[in-house]
């Protein structure tokens, strides 16, 4: 758990699942082992298990409070979901909601849920199982989904035999739409003057970056435009989960440049340790100064 302050806004990290994840080259097919070795001093142990050659990662939500709104950015895996092909995610019984309460947020307090994109590990807590039905976990929230993103996956789900997001589209997205709580957003959605939404496609067709401003300070929530901090140092390396790896690499560089230019705090969805930091130019690419947890 970590808390950050951006102007008058507080940002808490609430973790659903963290620990050892993918084999390095499995996540990042273009990875050059020498680059990991050259950065081992800061990658180990928070971000890389060198002995097993696997990345250490986290699946977390960011809880944003500005005095008027309580905004949950991405909703991780969820409990009780049928994910038979992903043993660690299958019928989970995690303590995410207790952790949310521990930072002072009851599910009823959440005013907005923003999903940066609609992959299985970003929508799970949108719903919970009650009396055999998937119902919204945050009954008073508006759930913001990118219009392009939703349209793409809704179309995919229509294909014969489709099971979009290992079932997540049907158990964690559609019930929100059916409950009338979904709002399909574009760049010009009038959320709040201090909050911006912008599409950075590539990881998925409509991946959103959510920007916040307060008292001259800024933060950008980038979802999975980066999965691992080594991609700050090598933004050309896209993950095996990217829908269009080339486009993803170009969006990644663009978001890193934006964070440098605006001195903005970068908050991705899967970095370990404090999970966020400030970006600086470095040897033709970038480096990260970690925010304290």
Question: Residues in the site for Zn ion, rule: CB under 5 A?
Answer: 121, 224
Distance in angstroms (rounded) separating the CA atoms of residues 206 and 225 = 11
CB of 61 to Zn ion, least distance (A): 11
Q: Shortest gap between Cβ of 110 and Zn ion (angstroms)?
A: 20
- Output the six-digit token pair for 137: 């976990």
Which CB, 66 or 271, lies closer to Zn ion? 271
* CA gap 65, 48 in Å, rounded: 31
User: Cβ 233 to Zn ion, closest distance in Å?
Assistant: 20
* Closest CB 283 distance from Zn ion, rounded Å: 28
- Residue 73's DSSP bridge partners are 62, 114
25 phi/psi in degrees, rounded to 5: -75, -15
Cα–Cα distance for residue pair 84/269, rounded to 1 Å: 23
CA dihedral of residues 205, 72, 142, 243 (deg, nearest 10): 10
Q: Which helix (DSSP H) or strand (DSSP E) does residue 242 occupy?
A: none
Q: Report the relative pairing of strands 54-65 and 70-73 from DSSP bridges.
A: antiparallel
Per-residue tokens: 269: 């969805």
Phi, psi of 285, deg, nearest 5:
-125, -130
CB of 156 to Zn ion, least distance (A): 17
Instruction: Report the C-alpha dihedral over residues 161, 163, 164, 166, rounded to 10 degrees.
Output: -150
CB of 72 vs Zn ion, minimal distance in Å:
15
Q: Which long-range contacts (CB under 8 A, 24 or more apart) does 22-25 make?
A: 22/54, 22/55, 22/57, 23/53, 23/54, 24/48, 24/53, 24/54, 24/55
Compare residues 12 and 121 and give the one whose CB is closer to Zn ion.
121
- Rounded CA separation 208/146 (Å): 7
Query: Which CB sits closer to Zn ion, 77 or 219?
Result: 77
> Closer to Zn ion at the Cβ: 121 or 149?
121
Please identify, using beta-carbon distances, which residue of 9 and 115 lies nearer to Zn ion.
115
Q: Given the complex with Zn ion, which of 26 and 111 has the nearer CB atom?
A: 26
Q: How far is the CB of 166 from Zn ion (least distance, A)?
A: 12
Q: Which residue number, 4 or 204, has a Cβ lying nearer to Zn ion?
A: 204
């Amino acid at each position: 758990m970590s808390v950050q302050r951006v102007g008058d806004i507080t940002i808490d990290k609430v973790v659903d699942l963290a620990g050892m994840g993918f084999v390095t080259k499995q996540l990042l097919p273009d990875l050059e082992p020498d680059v990991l070795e050259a950065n081992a001093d800061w990658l180990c142990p928070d971000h890389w298990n060198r002995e097993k050659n696997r990345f250490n990662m986290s699946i977390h939500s960011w809880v944003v409070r500005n005095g008027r709104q309580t905004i949950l950015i991405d909703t991780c895996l969820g409990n009780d979901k049928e994910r038979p092909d992903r043993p660690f995610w299958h019928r989970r019984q995690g303590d995410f909601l207790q952790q949310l309460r521990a930072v002072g947020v009851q599910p009823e307090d959440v005013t907005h849920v923003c999903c940066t994109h609609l992959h299985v590990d970003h929508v799970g807590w949108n719903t919970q199982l009650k009396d055999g039905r998937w119902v919204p976990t945050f009954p008073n929230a508006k759930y913001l989904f990118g219009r392009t993103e939703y349209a793409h996956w809704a179309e995919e789900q229509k294909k014969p035999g489709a099971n979009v997001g290992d079932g997540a589209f049907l158990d964690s997205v559609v019930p929100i739409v059916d409950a009338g709580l979904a709002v399909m957003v574009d760049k010009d959605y009038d959320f709040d003057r201090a909050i911006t939404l912008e599409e950075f496609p590539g990881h998925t067709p409509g991946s959103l970056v959510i920007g916040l401003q307060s008292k001259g300070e800024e933060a950008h929530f980038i979802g999975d435009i980066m999965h691992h901090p080594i991609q700050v140092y090598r933004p050309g390396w896209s993950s095996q989960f990217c829908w269009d790896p080339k486009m993803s690499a170009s969006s990644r560089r663009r978001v890193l440049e934006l964070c440098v230019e605006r001195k903005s705090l970068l908050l991705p969805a899967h970095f370990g340790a404090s999970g966020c930091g400030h970006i600086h130019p470095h040897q033709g690419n970038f480096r990260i100064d970690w925010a304290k947890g």
